[in-house]
Chains A and B, each alone.
Chain A
Amino acid sequence: MQTVAPPEKKQVAEWYTPGVPRKPLWRTAAEALVCLVVAVAILEGVFRISGVGGQEFLTPSRTLGTTHLPGKNIIWRMEGFSADNLNSIGYRDIEHTVAKPAGVKRIAVLGDSHSEGLQVPLQDVYARRLEMQLNEGASHNFEVINFACSGYSTAQEYVQYTHEVEQYKPDVTVVLMHWGNTSANIVDPKKRNKAQPRPYFYIDSEGKLQQDNSVIDWYYAPGAENNAWSKAINWLQLNSRIYGVLTQTDMALNNNERVYFKWRGNFQRVLAFLQGKDPKAEVPGPSYAEQDPTKVTDALVVALSDKCAKTGSKLVVMLLPDPTGTASQQLAGELTALGKEHGFGLLDLSEAFKQHPQQKDLFLRVHLSSLGHKFVADTLQEYLQQNDLLTTSTPMADSSSAGDTKVAAKAPVDNSEDAPVATQHATDSFPGYETLKAPVSVKEPI
């Protein structure tokens, strides 16, 4: 009998379960939708319970580039840990009234993430600590209001003073700076399309400090914050933990993965192109020569000092230690000289940090630890006391009273709205320094 070998079973790719009929498309789509809704609900719930995805807290602003989301609950884990709410206006602080209570001395704190202090609990941030320390054993005589926001440059702090801080009528304004802030104050006019949306400054050919808002204007069309897309994003920022996780991942990958950084840039350029923007086209704005970041920063500090003086506030610039040392020393040297001239105080923390017995523990990875914040609060308190900025109540000065102070006659004045710059120099002498000899305009070498 002839036997026939069975045909060799051909191995085939198994794309679906054999014998099971394929589902109609509508059913697959319905399944997908139900699964998606269930998955989103589960993830949102789990993330909320476990406190992740709550690191989204900034929203676009046409004035400042970005601002805090008022009332946002933030759970910060990227470096250190904190879990608390921004106040109803959007500051990382407790609630404060705009009107200053009688007999209270107010200190406004301006700065970036170092002063915002998301890496430590709110009560550990140096501004809160300072207020608690000043009010220790006494009635409520001092208020320290923290206006700091992540990523703020000196330029943003200067603009913020006019738009937000001034109305609180602070007696003392403290700005915590570091060397890294200086480069964020200027933008290369040819690279505006790659710059962060924030106000920039430059010194024009006449030596006047001018504001350049072109990047913000390019990024955010007027009224953009009220369109449906922005509102949806805002809603997601406030309410969705999944959205928070995705933006947080985007930030982490953008900072740490070179390939992602490159691809993301290309994707954004394609997106801009699809929106009708030519990614290679120059962003319209004023043209000016290459700027020296230090000079612009110095001019901004002088301008802020003048503005503070006009509103009856004393400016104190605090400098954080710079890991490289040299750049910070140069900035400290320049600001010390300018402080003597323009009547603002400078508290360089570099030496104090170096001499601290637990120097290594003052910082987490990049930002101040709880111990670091405590040390800054103690050092600042000591400085304010030594310079007599806490004992005597400074009479509040409105804009008219600023005229009582000596005004820099030499300084060029630009009152146009586009250039809200301080070009007049009030000459309130700063305690601890000699009385100002002669006001200097920003035209002078700074």
Chain B
Amino acid sequence: MACRAIIGYRLTSPREQPETMLFSSFNYLVFLPIVFGLYWVLPNKFRKMLLLVASYIFYMSWLPKYGLLLFGLTVVNYFLGLLISSAEKRKKFFLTLAIVVNLGCLCFFKYTNFLLDSVWQGLKALNQTTGIQLVNMSQAPVYDILLPLGISFFAFEFIHYVVDVYKGSKPMKNFFDFALFGAFFPSQIAGPIKRFQDFSKQLVHPPVFSTKDFNDGMFLILQGLFKKVCLGDVLAQLIVDPGYANPAALGTMDAWIVFFAFTFQVFFDFAGYTDIGRGSALLFGYRVPINFNLPFLSANFLEIWRRWHISLSTWLRDYLYFPMGGSHCSPWKQRRNLFLTMALGGLWHGAAWHYVFFGCIQGVILAVTRDWQQFTDKHPTLSKMKPTPWWHWSAVVATFWTWTVLLVIFRAPSVTHAFQMYERGFGSSPAGEITTTFFNSTLPITMVAYGLFCAIHAWVEYMNKKELALPAVAMQIANFWNQSVPMKAVTYSAVAIAILAYAPGHVQPFVYFQF
């Protein structure tokens, strides 16, 4: 009965998603400063509790009853973690139980309808080919199950916890610390998928206020907001959504703008979310791992997955690829392991066949890339060419282009739809509205501005790394920046106004919320 109450049983039409407290919404703009102010005003012993309460308020602002689900999973994993750690003989049983509970919840909420639909489609196809009446329904059965926000992320964090405890890590003894690990609002909805060893260390030493952390946090939040609101949201509203909604209206140029727009949209959206989350965590003195490391500069697909959604790829590596044997087995088994890891990674992204298809293609490409690398390493001429810059940059361009083309399968609502998009992109029809819209929008300016920002950032990093002196003007500005509170306040305000200026009328939900 309780289950029925939570999922709202058997409705044929999917419900409208309730509103959530998006990082880029006005509600969060109010929520974050309140929690921040209270956090540093309260005595140290109450701070963790405040963060826990704030995290549950944040989560329950979306759908209060799903707070129970998060709490329930936290309780179960906490006790199972303790049992795994203390049990002498039944460790494996408790681990299996914990994995079954976490994956069971994830599968129930995320894959029930997908499974029912797939079985129904299969039976229907059999019905048509054999004539045997196996299914007597005009429509596939649909359960009105609303996917709890962030379940894919916190379920993976809990699995990581119980597996690592099983492997010998010390479990978290304090329940409230563990609950905060599971619910920490800056990384609650779309990661990064944290490692409890890193997080619990930060809980032991209570953070003190640091202006450096505050400045770094503000910088990350504003950078994340710019990526999300001024780039990701505008790309989505003006280019990607209208483009994918009506492939027939796309010219060749339009289609390619749409393809590239989605590549950038998903990056800006997710990297923006991560930046805001990491920045918010820093305001409270906590550090959350990075999730992106210039992925579009990757020279092959193996590298791209080391730079893109790092916390997920490392999770898949540690808890899926390695247990299957990883690369310590025969070449064919290695290829199989890569393929299965990526196929399951694709399925993790969403309950639809086009995600599985996307994952399978990634698996094949990774296996081929590894073979190609081994071949070029052994080949006398190719091995000499490999270290040259032109080889590297050609590989970067080819990798980015292929990644963009493959993401069409990821974004399109179905594989058929994806092929319709490819048809437009590889055909030859005159440019339509999308091209005009793109050049009329603020996107060329904001994207160039962001490119310049990245170039300056990379240049400063490079100069620091090489221990080279920056030009005198840059040094003076940097010194003034470090010493002047008014300059910081004015700069933050100016950047905030600039974000408002280039923001679209409507706030878009984060792409990764659906996963």
Instruction: List residues of chain A with CB under 8 Å of any chain B CB.
Output: 11-17, 20, 28, 31-32, 35-36, 39, 42-43, 46-47, 49-53, 77-79, 81, 83, 241-242, 245-246, 248-249, 252-253, 255-257, 259-260, 360-361
B440: A residues at CB distance < 8 A = 81, 83
Contact B483–A17 (Cβ < 8 Å): yes
Cβ-defined contact, A15 with B441, below 8 A: no
**Can you give 9 contacting A-B residue pairs, CB < 8 Å?**
A13-B208, A16-B211, A35-B486, A39-B493, A50-B445, A245-B501, A248-B500, A259-B27, A260-B26
Of B26, B437, B484, B502, which one neighbours A259 at CB under 8 angstroms?
B26
Residues of B within 8 A of A79 (CB): 505
Q: How far is A260 from B506 in the complex, measured between Cα atoms in Å?
A: 14
CA distance A260 to B29 in the complex (A): 11
A11, A28, A50: the one contacting B486 at CB < 8 Å is: A28
Say which residue of B249, B483, B497, B507 sits within 8 Å of A246 (CB atoms): B497
Query: Quick one: which of A43, A47, A51, A257 contacts B26, CB cutoff 8 A?
Result: A257
A256–B22 Cα distance when bound, in Å, is 13
Assess the B27–A14 pair: CB atoms within 8 A. no
* Alpha-carbon gap, A31 to B494, bound state (A): 15
Docked pose: A245 CA to B212 CA in angstroms:
30
One digit per residue, 1 when the CB lies within 8 angstroms of any chain A CB and 0 when it does not, for chain B 246-262 equals 10010000000000000
Chain B residues within 8 Å of A, Cβ to Cβ: 25-27, 30, 40, 208-212, 246, 249, 437, 440-442, 445, 482-487, 489-491, 493-494, 497-498, 500-503, 505-507
Contacts A43-B494, A50-B445, A256-B506; A31 near B484 (Cβ below 8 A)? yes
In order of increasing CB-CB distance, the 8 nearest A-B pairs are A32-B486, A35-B490, A13-B209, A257-B26, A81-B440, A39-B494, A245-B501, A50-B445
- Point out which of B246, B437, B483, B500 has the most chain A C-beta atoms below 10 A from its C-beta: B500
Give chain B residues whose Cβ lies under 8 Å from the Cβ of A245: 497, 500-501
Number of A-B residue pairs at CB separation under 8 A? 87
**A75 vs chain B, min Cβ distance (A):** 10
> Is A253 a contact of B26 with CB atoms below 8 Å?
yes
Which A residues lie within 8 Å of B246 (CB)?
360
Contact A14 B497 (CB under 8 A): no
- The verdict on A81 contacting B497 (CB below 8 Å), with A50-B442, A361-B249 known, is no
Q: Assess whether A39 is in contact with B209, with CB atoms less than 8 Å apart.
A: no
Residues from chain B with Cβ under 8 Å of A12 in the complex: 208
State in angstroms the CA–CA spacing of A31 and B488 once bound together: 11
Report the minimal beta-carbon distance from A256 to chain B, rounded to whole angstroms. Answer: 6
Query: Complex Cα distance A81/B440, Å?
Result: 7
Chain A contacts for B40, CB-based, 8 A:
13
B26 engages A46 (CB within 8 Å): no
List the B side residues contacting A259 at CB < 8 Å: 26-27, 30
The answer to whether A252 touches B505, judged by C-beta atoms less than 8 angstroms apart, is yes
B437, A81: Cβ atoms closer than 8 Å: yes
Q: How far apart are B314's CB and chain A's nearest CB, in angstroms?
A: 31
A248 to B442, CA, bound (A): 15
Measured in the bound complex, the distance between the Cα atoms of B505 and A50 in whole Å is 17
| A260 contacts across to B, CB distance below 8 A | 26
A35 to B210, CA, bound (A): 24
Q: Are B211 and A14 in contact (CB under 8 A)?
A: yes
CB contact between B209 and one of A15, A52, A241 (< 8 Å): that residue: A15
The distance from the CB of A153 to the nearest CB of chain B, in whole angstroms, is: 23
Question: A20 vs B211: C-alpha distance in the bound complex, in angstroms?
Answer: 14
Contacts of B494 in A (CB 8 A): 39, 42-43
Complex Cα–Cα for A327 and B64 (A): 37
Complex CA gap A248/B502 in Å reads 11
Q: Indicate if the CB atoms of B485 and A246 lie closer than 8 Å.
A: no
Smallest Cβ-Cβ distance to B485: which chain A residue: A28
Q: How far is the CA of A69 from the CA of B506 in the complex (A)?
A: 26
A257 near B491: Cβ-Cβ < 8 Å: no
A256 near B507: Cβ-Cβ < 8 Å: yes
Contact between A20 and B490 (Cβ–Cβ < 8 Å)?
no
Closest Cβ neighbor of A245 among chain B residues: B501
